Amino acid sequence: MNQPFQNIDLSVGYGSALSQEQRHRVLRNTYWLLALSMVPTVLGAWIGVVTNLSGMLSGGVGLVVFLAGAFGFMFAIEKTKHSATGVPVLLGFTFFMGLMLSRLIAMVLGFKNGPELVMTAFGGTAGVFFVMASLATVIKRDISGLGKWLFVGVLVLLVGSLVNAFVGSSAGMLALSVAAIGIFSAYMLYDIKQIIDGGETNYISATLSLYLDLYNVFQNLLALLGIFGGERD
């Protein structure tokens, strides 16, 4: 009987000779670990809201902490993804990302209908994931070339976010959030298809990619719901 988190890393490229069973095992392990990663994320977000950590990490300090923590964790995950240490490092990263998400969640919870907005964003993100995962199983063509265009899209988002941070345009923020939801939804499709086609053989790397896709869709969807659906007391 196959156990969850049975590692497969054959160091082979896209279109390799991975058997169908091996590809399914990578996908299954990825889904197990992705589901598990939600636990430290929720815990981190809850601690961040309760302790008002988000208030202490606002402005430039918060940005420095986020960038240093996120890139530090991702570097550590890359170095440990072939060993048993990779799973706890990944879960530590998701806890940290939950902490960083707490500022937005605390802001939305300040609305009268805040809990409903958070649950709506969660349900919407789960729905996007279900649609993209379903599409990935029925699309037969090779979509590996989509990756470079999505990467360019992310770079454009980063530049746009930096510019808008100085401009402070509400319309620009809305446009960036909508674009981010679209780009990272497409990234979900791309990343799942990579696993199905044998282009990704390490479930820790696969989980990290899908987690970041989900995180960005949820974050931007929650921001939009807070802007358009938030009810003041």
Taking only the tens place, the pLDDT of each residue in 47-86 is 999 988 766 666 667 778 888 888 999 999 999 999 989 9
Question: Can you read off the two tokens belonging to residue 169?
Answer: 């345009």
CB-count burial class (<10 Å; 0-12, 13-18, 19+) for 160: middle
Residue 197 and residue 143: Cα distance in Å, rounded? Answer: 10
**Of 9-18, 115-124, 136-145, 166-175, the least confident:** 9-18
pTM comes to 0.87
CB 29 within 8 A of CB 6: yes
> Does residue 5 register a pLDDT over 60?
no
Cβ neighbours, 10 Å, residue 64: 11
d(CA 61, CA 27): 38
SS3 of residue 6 by DSSP = coil
191 versus 18: which is more confidently predicted?
A: 191
Nearest to 117 by CA among 41, 222, 44: 222
